[in-house]
């Protein structure tokens, strides 16, 4: 029986490219997207299952987890890849800053809702972070939702630093169950990224320079590598990778107490 690989953000960009590569490698890929049309189109192309959830609504993350638990007795890989950079400070229906919720709280919730199944499956959890964790991340544990000093870049950098802290804490809490995890930066990749943002970053992706960016296939390479090689042999659980090598992280990622606090507060926020 081939391994089951659930990929969020699989309707486009890096996630769709990873879904194509992992299907070609013989995995049973399960797509999760937000757009009904885009997700169904990739599912038709690859002949795989698909599910929908908008991560700006935590009720939809709960529904997604229920559906995945119902359909898949074994989940070998969970790739938390959905995400993006947005515009002015916006609050979701759940009362959270949008970037923090879509990029961190929703995948945190999805992973914890699936935890028993992931542990039972000795799964690997792969989190798509970004180099923005170092360039823009400056996380205040008492202001996780960036009430002070909000900018799209800062909120994005913080959420991508949160992905790395989550990866570390997941490895610390569940490492002895056999579950493994890694975060990675895909490179600067020519996708829809930043298209709905007011961040100056969007210019790069829409300018003539976009031709110089990595293709989505190249951007998916480290995700595919993490999903198909041996944790503990080819890569170390709890770490952050760039181009298949250990990457440099924000100095705040050297603080296990911050990772612990982020986990505790995230758990409170998704149950509040
Ligand atoms: N491109 C880069 O240079 C770059 C660099 C570093 C990190 N990243 C990270 O790579 C990941 C994938 O981005 P990409 O470059 O492939 O961008 P993309 O082409 O815009 O794809 C983003 C994916 O995330 C999904 N998504 C966005 N908002 C969502 C929401 N509210 N709820 C559920 N799903 C949502 C999209 O779903 P729909 O299309 O169905 O709406 C799409 O499948 C992101 O986490 C991003 O932060 C990208």
Give tens-digit pLDDT for 67-83. 999 999 999 999 999 99
Say whether pLDDT at 198 is over 80. Answer: yes
CA distance 108 to 103: 9
Q: What percent of the chain has pLDDT over 70?
A: 100
To test the pocket of ligand 1, the residue of 130, 188, 193 to mutate (highest count of ligand atoms within 8 Å of its CB) is: 193
Residue 95: predicted pLDDT: 98
Say whether pLDDT at 197 is over 90. Answer: no
Give tens-digit pLDDT for 133-156. 999 999 999 999 999 999 999 999
Domains in the chain: ranges and CATH: 4-271 (3.40.50.720)
Residue 86: predicted pLDDT: 95
Give tens-digit pLDDT for 34-44. 999 999 999 99
Please give the radius of gyration of the chain, using alpha carbons only, rounded to the nearest integer: 17
Give tens-digit pLDDT for 199-244. 888 888 888 788 889 999 999 999 999 999 999 999 999 999 999 9
Give tens-digit pLDDT for 151-187. 999 999 999 999 999 999 999 999 999 999 999 999 9
Considering only CA atoms, which residue is closest to atom 28 of ligand 1? 83
Nearest ligand 1 atom to the CA of 39 is 40
- Report the mean per-residue pLDDT for the chain: 96
Considering only CA atoms, which residue is closest to atom 7 of ligand 1? 130
Considering only CA atoms, which residue is closest to atom 5 of ligand 1? 188
Q: At what angle do helices 152-174 and 106-113 cross, to 10 degrees?
A: 20
Residue 72 catalytic? no
Residue 210: predicted pLDDT: 84
Degrees, nearest 5: CA angle 136-243-54: 60
Say whether pLDDT at 194 is over 90. Answer: no
Ligand 1 midpoint to CA 215 (Å): 14
- Spot the catalytic one: 72, 136, 156, 240: 156
Which pTM does this prediction carry?
Answer: 0.97
- List phi, psi (to 5°) of 220: -85, -5
Q: What are the Cα distances from residue 6, in Å, to 43, 98, 113, 192?
A: 13, 23, 14, 21
């Amino acid at each position: 029986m081939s391994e089951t690989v659930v990929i969020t953000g699989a309707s486009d960009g890096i996630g769709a490219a990873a879904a194509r590569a992992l299907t070609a490698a013989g995995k049973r890929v399960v797509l999760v997207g937000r757009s009904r049309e885009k997700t169904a189109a990739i599912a038709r192309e690859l002949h795989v299952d698909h599910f929908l959830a908008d991560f700006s609504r935590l009720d939809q993350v709960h529904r997604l987890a229920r559906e995945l638990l119902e359909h898949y007795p074994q989940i070998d890989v969970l790739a938390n890849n959905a995400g993006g950079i947005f515009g002015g400070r916006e609050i979701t229906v759940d009362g959270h800053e949008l970037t923090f919720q879509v990029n961190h709280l929703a995948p945190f919730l999805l992973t914890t809702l699936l935890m028993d199944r992931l542990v039972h499956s000795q799964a690997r959890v792969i989190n798509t972070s970004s180099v923005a964790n170092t360039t823009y991340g400056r996380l205040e544990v008492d202001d996780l939702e960036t009430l002070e000093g909000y900018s799209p870049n800062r909120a994005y950098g913080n959420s991508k630093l949160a992905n790395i802290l989550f990866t570390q804490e997941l490895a610390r809490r569940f490492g002895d169950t056999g579950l493994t995890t890694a975060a990675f930066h895909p490179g600067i990749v020519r996708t829809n990224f930043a298209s709905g943002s007011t961040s100056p970053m969007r210019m790069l992706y829409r300018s003539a320079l976009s031709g110089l960016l990595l293709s989505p296939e190249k951007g998916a390479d480290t995700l595919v590598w993490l999903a198909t090689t041996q944790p503990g042999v080819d890569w170390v659980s709890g770490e952050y990778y760039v181009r298949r090598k250990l990457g440099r992280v924000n100095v705040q990622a050297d603080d296990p107490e911050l990772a612990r606090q982020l986990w505790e507060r995230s758990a409170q926020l998704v149950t509040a």
